[in-house]
Structure 1
Amino acid sequence: MMKVLDKLLLFLYSIAIGVVSVILIGVGFNWLKNDLAEDILYEVYRSDAISIAVGVTGIVLFLISLRFFFVSLLRGGANTHSIDQRTEFGDIRISMETIENLALKAASKQKGVKDLRARVRASNDGLEIILRAVIDGEHAIPSLTEDIQRAVKSHIEDITGIPVVNVAVFIANVIQTNTIKSRVE
């Protein structure tokens, strides 16, 4: 929800800054006549409604600027999802992409696996890994999926030290193997 709100605020802020820059360019290159600028300022100071509208617009633009300033400071390293661990020597951060690649590496070593995709979620108990696989159809699916689950769980726990609570394997498809028998004449 906040990302959508930030995008909307950035859009409105960009339009407002664009209008202000066009006015400043017009004043800087004398495209706006002095009489026109004086008339506009006179109307702003003369009418209470226009003065309030300009003041509120200024406050809103200032608050949006503060919002973007604080968001830019807070989201410096939060764009990449990671698992953070503390050891006696310091902090360790392992990205989710790294864990996905480790899961793919372990699963791809199993015979019969042809194509893989992985998704990792972190929970309070440990990691939940979801694998989508395409297999060759020459191996029994229950034993193949058990081998994949066992290999992925042990590989990730050995490499990262993070417990794996679930490895779900979804067999998406079976591909046809091209076995060409040679004909001897």
Structure 2
Amino acid sequence: MAKILDRLLLFVYSLSIGILSVIAILLLTDAVPLDLNVIREKNLYIAAWVVAVVMFLLSIRFFYISVKRERGSLPSIDQRTEYGDIQISVDTIENLSYKAATRVRGIKEVKTRIRITEAGLEIVVRALVDGETSIPALTEEVQKQVHDHVEEITGIPVSYVSVYIANLVHSPAVKSRVE
């Protein structure tokens, strides 16, 4: 909603500045007869022309920005096949990484980040673990699962998977009641 309001305000602003600068240009060219004795000084006259033209050009630019459509500018990975182009968003790959990492037993909370390099994707997985599974075995399993799942689903080579174990999740202890 805020973007729509901002665009509307920019549209109104650019339109009003454009109209005022056109009026100033018409007055300076004597297209509209008006006695402007104050502006007959040459330096002031040139400055008024420059300001009017610059304001008109700025109003055109602002008008264009206010009415142009936004294209999805989310980062993506582009691939070309014999049938055409494929674009996969970075968010999609992050979600695939998340899905693969959460399938590993012992992983509780996951955040993923993707970096695109020449060698392929670099994936960073930040996880919380339950503390009951060997961390080296757990991280190796996460790396393997994320690497294989992302490559299999997207067809994009994964060059590196880094796993950062942030902390342990303390699960509430269930007390059994003996009667």
TM-score normalised per structure 2: 0.73
Give the count of matched residue pairs.
157
2:91 aligned with 1:97, yes or no?
yes
Q: Which moved more, 1:87-96 or 1:170-179?
A: 170-179
1:79 partner SS: coil
2:176 aligned with 1:182, yes or no?
yes
Corresponding position of 1:129: 123
Q: How far off is 1:171 after superposition?
A: 1.0
| Contact in 1 for aligned 2:18/2:56 (Cα 8 Å) | no
Kindly provide the CA deviation profile for residues 66-124 of structure 1, in whole angstroms up to 9, marking residues without a partner as x: 76659x97x95461100000000000000000000000000010111111111111111
2:118 partner SS: coil
Q: How does 1:73-88 map to 2 (within 5 A)?
A: 77=71, 79-88=73-82
Q: How far off is 1:50 after superposition?
A: 2.3
Gaps of 5+ in 2: 1-9, 22-32
Q: For 2:94 and 2:61, how far apart are their aligned partners in 1?
A: 34
Kindly provide the CA deviation profile for residues 12-51 of structure 1, in whole angstroms up to 9, marking residues without a partner as x: x99x848737969xxxxxxxxxxxx946x4433x122222
Q: How far off is 1:133 after superposition?
A: 0.8
Corresponding position of 1:52: 46
Out of 161, 166, 171, the position equivalent to 1:172 is: 166
Q: For 1:135 and 1:56, how far apart are their aligned partners in 2?
A: 65
Distance 1:66 1:96, change over 3 A: farther
Out of 32, 38, 43, the position equivalent to 1:43 is: 38
Q: Greater relative contact order: 1 or 2 (C-alpha under 8 angstroms, separation 6 or more)? A: 2
Corresponding position of 2:17: 20
TM-score normalised per structure 1: 0.71
Aligned-CA RMSD value:
3.2
Distance 1:171 1:63, change over 3 A: farther
One-letter amino acid of the structure 2 residue matched with residue 177 of structure 1: S
Q: How far off is 1:55 after superposition?
A: 2.4
1:111 partner SS: coil
2:74 partner SS: coil
One-letter amino acid of the structure 1 residue matched with residue 151 of structure 2: E
Q: How far off is 1:179 after superposition?
A: 2.3
One-letter amino acid of the structure 2 residue matched with residue 47 of structure 1: E
Corresponding position of 1:9: none
One-letter amino acid of the structure 2 residue matched with residue 166 of structure 1: Y
Gaps of 5+ in 1: 1-12, 25-36
